[in-house]
Structure 1
Amino acid sequence: MTALASDSPLLKPITLGSIVAANRILMAPLTRSRAHDDGTPSDLQVEYYRQRARAGLVIAEGTQPSQVGKGYTNTPGIHNDAQQAGWATIADAVHDEGGKIVVQLMHAGRMSHPDNSGEQAIAPSAIAPEGVQMFTKNGMKDIPVPRALETDELPALVEDFVNASRHAIAAGLDGVEIHAANGYVLHEFLSDSENVRTDSYGGSADNRARFVVEVVTAVSEAIGADKVGIRISPGHAAGGMTEKDYVDTYLSLVRQIDGLGLAYLHVLIEPTDPVLAAVKTVWHGPLLLNTGFGLDSDRDALEGLIANGTADAVTVGRPYISNPDLVERWTRGAELNENDQATWYGGGAEGYTDYPTLSEVSV
């Protein structure tokens, strides 16, 4: 792999709302399960994000906005003062390295287990993900049927996102990304299969988009829309999702949030999917593209997506796991560290903070 040209679109800065990113090789959110049991970030996480601060923007891992929103083991929260203090240490570490960082607010919805959260999962409808199991402290278990939310409970759920957002800004983070993708609660509301409600939050595309719009609007009003991004994954089958009527749903959602002045729209999708082209006709802000399991490690292909206008920036996941200095490696055309998948979730420093940088390799 040759070095990038000095005028490569990957290396150009980009303004995302109130955030000025130094380059367009952004770090995608990655669940790594290294937080303490109570959801407070660990010292290992501080070091992990400090090492990767040269990403144009670090989008930190999915973080629960409430206890019932917790899905997996050892994921961080940001809904109380102790968790805020932990995130403040992370924010300081990234900023000290000259980086920018937002946290992804991920309410797991039905993708949860009482062994992990201590709570019965909640969802738009009482439908469990078919054939999906979850790792718990007591081993792999089937995910139980969630409790369907009552209409009068929804304002409190909106407030959970608002509260978490305020904690994020108080911690000194640069903003939040609202996770409306990958089979979690906001994605579940959008789905015509997982959402079978008969109130004003179910049925039509506009109704199924309504709750997500309410969350995004409320968070934007609380902390400023220029500090808010949103992630979507149209038609993505994660967590047993079976969306069918998703084109109209996402067009409705994006139309309704387009005028809020959000920092960005983050789309997990194959770049040739016609839904992406449709979404771009109604979205007028910065668009971040995550190609999922397609082009993540193909630097030149990602560069081309920015050059041809498919996206304004790209988010990269797995290569950042094993290459904390990914921007430097891609800039210089250097070889990448190999990724150890056995260490992705849980554990300690191995496979988390011990991957060498180029400068360490050359010593």
Structure 2
Amino acid sequence: MDHLFTPIKLGAYTLSHRVVLAPMTRLRTIQPGDIPSPMMADFYGQRASEGGFVLIEGVSISIVARSYLGAASWFDDSQTAGWKAIVRAVHAKGGRVFMQLIHGGRQSHVEMTGGVAPVAPSVVPFEGVALTKDGFVPVSPHRALDISEIPGIVEEFRVAAKRARDAGFDGVELHGANGYLVDQFIQDGSNKRTDAYGGPVENRVRFLRECVEALISVWGADRVGVRISPSGEWGDISDSDPEATFSHVAKVLNDYGIAYMHVIDPRIKGDETLHEGHAPVAAKSLRAFFKHPIIAAGGFDGASAEALVAAGDADLVAFGRHFTSNPDLPYRLKHRLPLTPYVRAAFWGGTEKHYSDFPTYDGVSAA
């Protein structure tokens, strides 16, 4: 684990290791109101480490941006105290914490959007689900955004970034992956517009550019990251030429000089492994176009993460599933200790059980 546990400069910050807590929607907010719960502060604090990097699960920037009942949001002052508690918990362990900001776009339901139709770049029928009080249900029919509405959504990203700054976060990550609104604009399977936001890839990344610039206006480029998912399948997303599209995206992000690009490997779809045994390819393919730090995500264990960083294909590795059940994952990986198996049934909603009650390795040994 020599490479995973060497320091690295990530934008404005120097980290002591390269094991990142991936952003994972866990549906543990207090309802109604999407209030960050005390158990969320426990969860993030437990998984923070000295000089480590924590990414907070996707936080919806408005009511219309919501996709899943119980998921995180920040568009109301009533949510502020809970987010400040999470920041304190991570900082108390010496960690750095970025908030991931998201707009679900067409991936939603009228029960989550305040009764209005979900929005998207274009109306393109697709197979998708949202989470409501009735469980996972088919998404509601969506409508295409009028070009005059787009600046308002960009402004919502800026306001959310300012809220995160004022609460003490260390930076923000734009969720441009997994078939949500930013990704819907980027990929031509979901973007059929003929105006300045559609057609050639230069136009399709315009919304991404404007959102990145809004975040940079609050934080500066060295405290902003962007997550993308080349060839991802979540949200029934697709592109006719993903290699050309995402190499262009990587070049655009490189020119902004952002802190990092966070790349999800296409062998992963949400919390499922699609292609067992396949080598990671996404970060390596984009390395030629992005010269700043790359975080790779998608089905890694300690050995494969170490190999990826050693090869220079990525600089840090984000862990999701293994981090759910191993709050001290960096320690366990560094010392090659056994990992506690994750509990898939607790991924999407629930109580503290199999969420914030997993012991550290020392706790397991003591028990």
Contact 1:206 1:249 in 2 (8 A): no
> Who is 2:270 aligned against?
none
Residue 102 of structure 2 corresponds to residue 106 of structure 1:
yes
Of 281, 286, 291 in structure 2, the residue corresponding to residue 284 of structure 1 is 291
CA contact (8 A) 2:67 2:131 kept: no
Q: How does 1:38-117 map to 2 (within 5 A)?
A: 38-54=33-49, 56-117=52-113
Structure 2 gap segments, 5+ residues each = 267-277
Task: Provide the rounded CA distance (Å) in 2 between the counterparts of 1:241 and 1:180.
Answer: 12
Question: Which of residues 345, 349, 354 in structure 2 aligns to 1:346?
Answer: 349
Provide the TM-score with structure 1 as the length reference.
0.93
Distance (whole Å) between structure 2 residues aligned to residue 134 and residue 173 of structure 1: 28
Distance (Å, rounded) in 1 between the aligned partners of 2:280 and 2:354: 33
Query: 2:141 — aligned with what?
Result: 145
The 1-side partners of 2:119 and 2:11 are apart by 32
Say which of 325, 335, 339 aligns to 2:338. Answer: 335
Shift, 1:106, TM fit: 1.3
C-alpha distance in 2, partners of 1:225/1:26?
20
Q: Return the match for 2:216 from 217, 220, 226.
A: 220
Q: 1:274: how far off?
A: 6.0
Q: Give the letter aligned to residue 281 of structure 1.
A: A
Distance 2:166 2:78 in 1: 12
Which residue is equivalent to 1:31? 25
After superposition, the C-alpha distances for 1:90-145 in whole angstroms (9 at most, x for unaligned) are: 00111011111111111111111112232421111122422x23331023321122
CA shift for structure 1 position 278: 4.3
Residue of structure 2 in register with 1:211 after alignment: 207
SS at match of 2:205: helix
User: 2:327 is matched with which residue?
Assistant: 324
Q: CA deviation at 1:226?
A: 1.0
State the partner residue of 2:119.
Answer: 122
Q: Helix, strand or coil: the match of 1:267?
A: strand
Instruction: Determine which of 118, 129, 132 is the counterpart of 1:133.
Output: 129
Cα deviations by residue, 1:260-293 (Å, 9 ceiling, x for unpaired): 2211001112595666444222211111111x24
Select which of 281, 289, 303 maps to 1:300: 303
Q: Matched residues in 2 for 1:247 and 1:53: separation?
A: 35
1:237 CA drift (Å): 0.9
Superimposed CA distance per residue, residues 170-202 of structure 1 (whole angstroms, 9 cap, x where no aligned partner): 110111110000010000001111000110101
In structure 1, C-alpha distance between the alignment counterparts of 2:125 and 2:355, rounded to whole Å: 32
User: In structure 2, what is the Cα distance between the partners aligned to 1:106 and 1:240?
Assistant: 17
The residue identity in structure 1 corresponding to 2:121 is P
Give the conservation status (yes or no) of the 8 Å contact 1:111–1:129.
Answer: no
Long gaps (5+) in structure 1: none
Query: What secondary structure sits across from 2:72 in the alignment?
Result: coil
Question: 1:183 touches 1:241 (CA, 8 Å); kept in 2?
Answer: yes
Alignment partner, residue 271 of structure 2: none
Superposition pairs of residues 219-298 of structure 1, within 5 angstroms? 219-269=215-265, 276-290=283-297, 292-293=298-299, 296=300, 298=301
Match of 1:49, as an amino acid? Y
> What residue identity is the alignment partner of 2:74?
I
2:363 to 348, 360, 363: 360
Q: Which residue of 1 aligns with 2:157?
A: 161
Q: Which residue of 2 aligns with 1:21?
A: 15
Q: Matched residues in 2 for 1:269 and 1:139: separation?
A: 28
**Counterpart residue identity of residue 151, structure 1:** I
Instruction: Provide the rounded CA distance (Å) in 1 between the counterparts of 2:98 and 2:214.
Output: 18
Alpha-carbon distance in structure 1 between the residues aligned to 2:71 and 2:113: 10
Q: Does 1:179 align with 2:175?
A: yes
- Following the alignment from structure 1 to structure 2, what is the Cα–Cα distance between the partners of residues 19 and 65? 25
Percent identity, aligned pairs only? 38
| 8 Å CA contact 1:128, 1:144 repeated in 2 | no
Q: What's the CA shift string for 1:11-46, capped at 9, x where partnerless?
A: 112111112222101111111000122122010101
**Paired position in structure 2 for 1:312:** 315
RMSD: 1.6
Q: How many pairs does the alignment contain?
A: 352
Please give the alpha-carbon distance, in whole angstroms, between the structure 2 residues aligned to 1:95 and 1:172: 9
